[in-house]
Amino acid sequence: MPEFREMAKVTLFGSGNKGGATFTPAKDIPSLAGKVVLITGAAGDLGRQTAVELAKYGRPARIYVADLPRGEAEKKAVVERITREAYESDEKDKDTTAPKTDVRFIDLDLTSFESVRACAAEFAAQEERLDILVLNAGIIRVAKGATKEGYEVHFGLNYLGHVLLAKLLVPTLEKTAAQGAEPRVVVVSSEGHAMAPKGGIQFDNLKTECAAMDYSQRYGQSKLALIHLTRHLSVHHPTLKIAAVHPGRILTGMADALKKESLLVKLTAPIAPFFCVPVSVGIVNHLWAATSKDVVSGKYYEPVGVTGKESALARDEALGRRLAEWTEEQIRGVEALA
Ligand SMILES: NC(=O)c1ccc[n+]([C@@H]2O[C@H](COP(=O)([O-])OP(=O)(O)OC[C@H]3O[C@@H](n4cnc5c(N)ncnc54)[C@H](OP(=O)(O)O)[C@@H]3O)[C@@H](O)[C@H]2O)c1
């Protein structure tokens, strides 16, 4: 019952994508010539379309699609789809003089510290710079479970895996800043952070499956932690711009997973389009945070360019400090590449 109540509250009264700044990718994405981008979960709907729009309008040198390992043919298909969708349509919109983006797949399983480290090491072996890091991958409502290191799976994947990846890539981001660039980290949170359990984060249970919590609370605490991560990173890395976003409600692969599992989502499926926006609208949040000059580091944006919608728990500085301390403990010894 609490799941139904919290989901209904977010669905009916959350701000979704209504209002916010106007951002037209074709006009507002600046040239990204020579820049390097890494997007987690970029085989999924929002990550992939973000890659397409950045490649199409910004033409960075390279975009890394960091996603779950899969067969070579499937990786090639993901890369080819992004390249095709970026360059084979809308000929008239393109700046045909700029070189096309080289899109590359890089293995990343955020439920394993070893895989996160391998991903960061493989990236570092190929690149000297990183201009835009989008922490986009995420799960919602998967079966109760734990990551390889034993953390509740939403928290371990959505939050802790991303923390470790960010920590490992910060030296490259800062090196890029030292060359006069303004590197970005886009942290994809959610209005669902408001569904976190009482107190926000149940520290004593994080290294369990959190079996007593419903899925919305497990998802909520992971997305709440990402807003605190954004603020923490912005304080400790002032040469970087770091922003958290809620992309809106979008019918993506994530919604399919929800439909299979949640009675509420199944029942409201016929009217879901009234509450949801297309992928092309959802990713405007990602694109704005990745490229707009108006982004203020450390802030949570819901919808595009609008601050101040985070929950009281997301503003709770004591909770943020406790989370930062807990996090340091968990990743001590694995947060640097050899
Ligand atoms: N859609 C919405 O309405 C909505 C609303 C608020 C926030 N968001 C956030 O937006 C982000 C993108 O979601 P989406 O809607 O685009 O969902 P999606 O289509 O399901 O994409 C999620 C991506 O994450 C990948 N992923 C899953 N487990 C992973 C792991 N262990 N390691 C690395 N990557 C993994 C998935 O890979 P596979 O496909 O191979 O499993 C997929 O490519 C998520 O963080 C989500 O919380 C979405």
Domain residue extents for the chain: 2-331
Is the Cβ atom of 46 under 6 angstroms away from ligand 1?
yes
Confidence of residue 249 (pLDDT cuts 50, 70, 90): confident
Q: State yes or no: is 215 an active-site residue.
A: no
Q: What is the pLDDT of residue 307?
A: 96
User: 250 or 104: whose pLDDT is higher?
Assistant: 104
In terms of Cα–Cα distance, which of 302, 294, 288, 192 is closest to 246?
302
- CB-CB contact of 50 with 60 (8 Å): no
Q: Ligand 1 centre from 41 Cα, in Å? A: 6
Q: Ligand 1 centre from 5 Cα, in Å? A: 24
Poorest-pLDDT segment among 111-120, 151-160, 277-286: 277-286
Confidence of residue 322 (pLDDT cuts 50, 70, 90): very high
Q: What CA–CA distance (Å, rounded) separates 131 from 27?
A: 20
- Summarize pLDDT for 80-111 with one digit per residue, the tens: 999 999 998 655 555 567 899 999 999 999 99
Please identify, by atom number, the ligand 1 atom nearest to the C-alpha of residue 255: 1
User: 26 or 4: whose pLDDT is higher?
Assistant: 26
Retrieve residue 283's tokens. 């990713």
Q: Ligand 1 centre from 255 Cα, in Å? A: 10
Among 57, 151, 215, 219, the one annotated catalytic: 219
Q: Ligand 1 centre from 44 Cα, in Å? A: 6
Going from the C-alpha of 120 to that of each of 64, 123, 165, 166, 266, the distances in angstroms are 11, 5, 7, 9, 38
Please identify, by atom number, the ligand 1 atom nearest to the C-alpha of residue 110: 32
Half-sphere exposure of 80 (CA within 13 A, CB side): 6
CATH tag for 2-331 (out of 3.30.1360.10, 3.30.1360.20, 3.60.15.10, 3.40.50.720): 3.40.50.720
Q: What is the pLDDT of residue 54?
A: 98
Q: Ligand 1 centre from 316 Cα, in Å? A: 27
Report helix, strand or coil for 238: coil
Does residue 56 surpass a pLDDT of 80? yes
Is the Cβ atom of 44 under 6 angstroms away from ligand 1?
yes
Report helix, strand or coil for 243: strand
Retrieve residue 309's tokens. 């919608």
Mean pLDDT of the chain: 91
Is the Cβ atom of 253 under 6 angstroms away from ligand 1?
yes
User: 14 or 242: whose pLDDT is higher?
Assistant: 242
Is the Cβ atom of 14 under 6 angstroms away from ligand 1?
no
Residue 107: strand pairing partners:
67
Is the Cβ atom of 251 under 6 angstroms away from ligand 1?
no
Confidence of residue 11 (pLDDT cuts 50, 70, 90): low
Does residue 15 surpass a pLDDT of 80? no
- Summarize pLDDT for 39-48 with one digit per residue, the tens: 999 999 999 9
Q: What is the pLDDT of residue 9?
A: 52
Confidence of residue 253 (pLDDT cuts 50, 70, 90): confident
Is the Cβ atom of 214 under 6 angstroms away from ligand 1?
no
Poorest-pLDDT segment among 16-20, 70-74, 137-141, 232-236: 16-20
Confidence of residue 1 (pLDDT cuts 50, 70, 90): very low
Report helix, strand or coil for 141: coil
Q: What is the pLDDT of residue 17?
A: 59
pLDDT above 70: percentage of residues in the chain? 88
Is the Cβ atom of 252 under 6 angstroms away from ligand 1?
yes
